Amino acid sequence: MQSPVHPIDYRYGTPEMKRIWSEESKIKRMIRVEIALLKALSKAGYFEMDFKEIKRKTLKIKPEDVKAIEDVIKHDIMALVKAISNQLSEAEARWVHFGATSNDIIDTATATQLRDTVKIFELKLRKLALLLSERADEFKEVVCLGRTHGQAALPTTYGFRFAIWAAEITRHYLRLQQLKERLLVGQLSGAVGTQAAFGDKGFEIEEEVMRLLNLKPAIISSQILPRDIYCEYVEFLANLSATLEKIATNLRVLQRAEVAELSEKFEKKQVGSSTMPHKRNPIDSENICGLARIVRGFVEPQHQSSILWEERDLTNSSAERITLVESTILADHILTKTIKVISNLSLNEEAIRRNLEAQKGLNLSEAVMVALTLKGVSRQEAHEILREAAMKAYESGEEFLAVLRKDDRIRKYLSEDELESLLKPENYLGTAVRRVESVIEWINSVFKNS
């Protein structure tokens, strides 16, 4: 037996998602589409059959059976049709694949894969959004140093950070709800989309097949579904992967040794480095970042797969065997890993406070500037006064408060007590806590009936 080649086979992906996109699952789903077509034909008056017996017979078909036929005839769907027909009587086999073309079966079977995939994504997005929301509530008053451009900025709270991420994940959940209406569609349209083989019963047969498979018929299709549908799906995965990488990147930054405000769970026997025994590397967050880039890389080839000649050509087929499967499995993998990371994340409040106090009040220069402006100084003049004071503090290494005390332009308007109060981080959070609470309330309203 040949050893696995692709890391998805042995390293990445969850069992539940890999089952949906496995070759065995694909073949079973295509068989279900063919059986649904037989049922629809029977209902339309073409013939009568014992479908329990047909189902029992077709359950025997294995991927290797279909592959063996394909090796001879060089056509995957006709190999499937022959494999099904080989299990049936002549009378039953007569109607297999009647009126259908290959992509009626392929695209509709893919729609069932996407249907089941969406259910998994919905559950996991909900779980992550609510988990982040819980963390936002837990840490909404944990004051920390905000950073812009990697430099010290105003204070914020850890809950505020988690609330931003929670809201973003919730928006992805809502996007998926909107996307489902366009994504979960199949087709039974024949060679060029006109359903010619079914005569005037085309709509009736297609609608019955989709009803049996819990799908909707496409509004219109040629020989294949228009690929803008798949493009939108892969774009959704790319957008989701960007959010997951954004979260993981920030977790990595905040785990750096000189910051040390957060830490991923590190197992008792876990090894961080083959040569440095002390290492506790953020490997899960790094894994999320690396694979998120691969997911986004599928956007362009999927877009190229929507540009087909007339009613269709075959350039999309080989690409989509990779783009749809790998983007889905890897996106699910990093979503699952993000849930794991957030679930086991630890905050080091001592380090958080240390990093905040290390700024010696400099990061609250805006608070003093605003106070001066409210006292009657022009905003631009107040900005220049505080800029000069900040530069002196940088150069001298003094506490910012000490520098401010020496500036007559500031002491003219602000007392010692006022300055001390202005330089307390917890006094300059604005609506941070209330905004976190409003996000939590919104998220709870989104998921209350789901």
Q: What is the pTM of this model?
A: 0.94
Mean pLDDT to the nearest integer, 11-29: 95
Position 279 confidence tier, pLDDT thresholds 50, 70, 90: low
> Does 383 qualify as catalytic in the annotation?
no
What's 217's DSSP letter? E
- pLDDT tens per residue across span 338-374: 999 999 999 999 999 999 999 999 999 999 999 999 9
**CATH homologous superfamily of domain 362-422?**
Fumarase/aspartase (C-terminal domain) (1.10.40.30)
Confidence (pLDDT) at 358 = 94
Mean pLDDT to the nearest integer, 239-257: 96
Decide if domain 7-93 falls under CATH 1.10.10.10: no
Query: Per the residue annotation, which of 149, 278, 415, 445 is the catalytic one?
Result: 149
Position 10 confidence tier, pLDDT thresholds 50, 70, 90: confident
**Mean pLDDT lowest among 9-13, 115-119, 215-219, 381-385:** 9-13
Is residue 235 predicted with pLDDT exceeding 80? yes
End-to-end CA distance of the chain: 45
Residue type, 118: V
Q: How far is CA 37 from CA 88, 91, 157, 218, in A?
A: 15, 15, 58, 16
Confidence (pLDDT) at 269 = 78
- pLDDT tens per residue across span 258-268: 999 998 876 77
Is residue 231 predicted with pLDDT exceeding 70? yes
CA distance 279 to 273: 6
> Does 303 qualify as catalytic in the annotation?
no
Q: Classify 237 in phi/psi space as left (phi over 0), alpha (psi -120 to 50) or beta.
A: alpha
Share of the chain above pLDDT 70, in %: 98
- pLDDT tens per residue across span 284-321: 999 999 999 999 999 999 999 999 999 999 989 999 99
Residues of the chain within CATH 1.10.275.10 domain(s) are 7-93
Q: Classify 347 in phi/psi space as left (phi over 0), alpha (psi -120 to 50) or beta.
A: beta
**Mean pLDDT lowest among 23-32, 175-184, 309-318:** 309-318
Half-sphere exposure of residue 16: CA atoms within 13 angstroms, side-chain side: 12
- What 3-state DSSP class applies to 269? coil
CA distance 186 to 32: 13
Decide if domain 102-265+280-355 falls under CATH 1.20.200.10: yes
Confidence (pLDDT) at 264 = 86
What's 393's DSSP letter? H
Is residue 76 predicted with pLDDT exceeding 70? yes
Confidence (pLDDT) at 158 = 97
- Beta bridge partners, 143, equal 157
Position 270 confidence tier, pLDDT thresholds 50, 70, 90: confident
Residues of the chain within CATH 1.20.200.10 domain(s) are 102-265+280-355
Radius of gyration of the chain (CA): 30
Confidence (pLDDT) at 263 = 87
Q: What is the mean pLDDT of the chain?
A: 94
Confidence (pLDDT) at 109 = 98
Is residue 386 predicted with pLDDT exceeding 90? yes
As to burial, measured by CB atoms within 10 angstroms (0-12 exposed, 13-18 middle, 19+ buried), residue 171 is middle
Per the listing, tokens 């991927």 go with: 63
Confidence (pLDDT) at 51 = 87
Is residue 280 predicted with pLDDT exceeding 80? no
Is residue 273 predicted with pLDDT exceeding 80? no
Kindly report the number of other CB atoms within 10 A of residue 110's CB atom.
23
Instruction: Please say whether the beta carbons of 261 and 144 come within 8 A.
Output: yes
Confidence (pLDDT) at 265 = 76
Query: Per the residue annotation, which of 6, 75, 89, 273 is the catalytic one?
Result: 273
Mean pLDDT to the nearest integer, 90-111: 95
Is residue 278 predicted with pLDDT exceeding 80? no
Q: How far is CA 401 from CA 66, 68, 360, 368, 423, in A?
A: 78, 81, 8, 10, 8
Residues of the chain within CATH 1.10.40.30 domain(s) are 362-422
Kindly report the number of other CB atoms within 10 A of residue 333's CB atom.
21
Confidence (pLDDT) at 145 = 96
- pLDDT tens per residue across span 182-196: 999 999 999 999 999
Half-sphere exposure of residue 375: CA atoms within 13 angstroms, side-chain side: 17
Mean pLDDT to the nearest integer, 154-168: 97
Contacts of residue 244, defined as CB under 8 A and 6 or more positions apart, other chains included, come to: 288, 292, 334, 335, 338
DSSP percent split of the chain into helix, strand, coil, nearest 5: 65, 5, 30
Confidence (pLDDT) at 274 = 64
More confident residue, 162 or 59: 162
Contacts of residue 342, defined as CB under 8 A and 6 or more positions apart, other chains included, come to: 128, 131, 132, 135, 247
